[in-house]
Amino acid sequence: MAITRIIDRCRARLEDVEFGSVRDWKARHPGGKAVGCFPVYTPVEIIHAAGMLPVGLFGGGNTIELANADARFQSFVCSIAKTTLEMGFQGRLKLLDGTIFSSICDVARNLSSVMARNFPELQVEYIHHAQNMTSPAAVDYVESEFARIQRNMERLAGHPVSQEALASSLKTYNRIRGALRDLYRVRRESPHLISTVELYVLARSGTLVPPEEHLGELMEVLALLHARQDRPKDRVRVVIESAFCEQPPLDLLQVVEEAGCYIVDDDLLTGWRWYVEDVPEDLPPLRALAESYIRQSVYSSVRHDGPRSRTAGLVEKVRRAGAQAVIFMPAKFCEPALFDYPLFRLALEEANIPHLVIEFEEKMWTFERTRNELETFVESMLFD
């Protein structure tokens, strides 16, 4: 059926270690440049408005052997930092002209320096994302930071970016985020209609093509979903939390579903969905992005929340999704995720919401133990 065909196409794109879709785009746009965006959040609108292709840079997963990167980063550093660097050493990032890192954690920050030093042909940018969410000065600051990124993207593109181009990019990405919100809603309300593996493949592969193409795929899937015939099963509704940067292996997500869970909300690819509402289209574009960053970003472990606390955010998310439990899925050694766990845990215990912790690495081959843990967890929930 048609949805499966779209998903298969997306999956092939995602599993292509040579970034075939980016190469195609470059072939169709001679002189066009591609900019890798390290998770979590990048204002991709600015890259797109400069006529360049924003590309999700999520490390090498289990498709790369470390030959150089583990001599640069110690054993206690998350896998995404190492495999991203290794991709550079093995020439897999040659098709990128620039990359953008940001202040999500100490590792990502140092990684941006190491990348800049080892790959001088790559224009490496670093965004300092504001952490003060209450100061009136913060919106001005974020706007100035995005303006700086705009200047640097203009330099890379070799031409200025107009206000109109920015406004139009903003609209395009609003539509994408809106469509993703719709898809998340469908999965929340009728999780039997679209699995998380499908939704994830669809969303993630969208970070490898021009947004217009991605939007087309999302709309197509949305239109076809309601015609699906599947029946709801007796499963435990769970929320996945802490997988905001390094992404869990697809097989792990599949194991969660096979063990009897409906994943009804998650923070996968969170930065590509970032705003809880549309970015206002009636303000100067960078101002609008800055306002949205401060006032209507999703809560995240890599962003201080000011008066809105993440712990309350998680409990609310569980309630809104009608979920029964939380599965924490932090990448091994991911400090921001690991640090949030004690407070999350307290809040969940207070709210009587059970949870399970599953740490993962990119190079996970067997999932049997995890499957057992999950099945035990699910059983305890179903027969409670």
Partner 1 sequence: MATAIRVDKDRKYQSEVNDHSKRILTEYYDQLARAARQGEASGFLMISGNCVEILRAFDMHPVFPEVNALQLAIRKQSLPMILKAEQMGYSSDNCAYVKADIGMLMSGGYGPQGTAPSPSLVVCNYVGCNVYVKWFEHIAEFCQAPLFMLDIPFLREGDRPSQDDITYVVRQLQELIATCSRITGKPFDIDRLREVLAFSARAEEGWSRAKHRCKSRPAPFDAYFDSINMMGPINVLRGTREAAEFFDFAVEAFEALAVQGKGPLAEERFRTIVEGPPPYPYYRNFRNLFAAWGAVAVNSTYSTVGGLWEFGFRHDPRRPLESIAEQMVVENLTNRSLTARYQQIRRYVEDWAADALVIHSIKSCRLFSAGQGDMREYFTRELGVPTLLVESDLEDPRYYSEAQMKNRIDAFFEALEHKKFLAKG
Binding site for ligand SF4 (CB under 6 A): 78, 80-81, 104-105, 107-108, 245-246, 302, 331, 334-336
CA–CA distances in Å: residue 219 to residues 3, 198, 242, 247, 297: 11, 14, 28, 24, 23
Instruction: Select the binding partner of residue 223 from partner 1, ligand SF4, none (C-beta < 5 to 8 A, by kind).
Output: none
Q: Which residues pair with residue 328 across a beta bridge?
A: 241, 357
From 281, 343, 379, 382, residue interacting with partner 1 (rule: CB under 8 A): 343
Candidates 15, 23, 94, 131: give the one binding partner 1 (CB under 8 A): 131
Task: State in angstroms the smallest separation of the CB of 336 from ligand SF4.
Answer: 5
Contacts of 192 (CB under 8 A, 6+ apart): 230, 231, 232, 233, 262
Does position 134 interact with partner 1 (CB under 8 A)? The reply is yes
Provide DSSP, 110-162.
Answer: HHHHHHHHH-TTSEEEEE-----SS-HHHHHHHHHHHHHHHHHHHHHHTS---
The rounded distance, in Å, linking the Cα atoms of 156 and 122 is 10
Look at residue 144 and give the partner it binds from ligand SF4, partner 1, none, a contact being a CB closer than 5 to 8 Å depending on partner kind.
Answer: partner 1
Alpha carbon distance 179, 357 (integer Å): 30
363 is a contact residue toward partner 1 (CB under 8 A): no
Contacts of partner 1 in 146-165 (CB under 8 A): 148
DSSP annotation of 75 reads T
Task: Identify residues 60-79 at the interface with partner 1 (CB under 8 A).
Answer: 70-74, 76-77
Is-contact 36 119, C-beta < 8 A? no
Residue type (1 letter), 68: N
Two tokens, residue 318 = 């569980």
- Measured from the CB atom, the residue of 222 and 338 that comes closer to partner 1 is 338
Residue 187's contacts (CB-CB under 8 Å, 6 or more residues apart) are: 193, 194, 196, 199, 263, 264
Q: Output the CA torsion sign for 226, 176, 255, 374.
A: negative
CB of 163 to partner 1, least distance (A): 20
Out of 49, 107, 153, 239, point to the residue binding partner 1 (CB under 8 A). 107
Nearer residue to partner 1 within complex by CB, 114 or 165: 114
| Shortest CB 330 distance to ligand SF4, Å | 8
Using the rule CB under 8 A, is 118 a contact of partner 1?
yes
> Is residue 93 near partner 1 by the rule CB under 8 A?
no
Smallest distance from the beta carbon of 341 to partner 1, in angstroms?
Answer: 5
Nearest Cα neighbor of 221 from 253, 181, 196, 194 is 194
Shortest gap between Cβ of 74 and partner 1 (angstroms)? 6
Binding site for partner 1 (CB under 8 A): 70-74, 76-77, 81, 103-107, 109-114, 116-118, 126-128, 130-138, 140-141, 144-145, 148, 302, 304, 306, 309, 332-333, 335-336, 338-343, 345
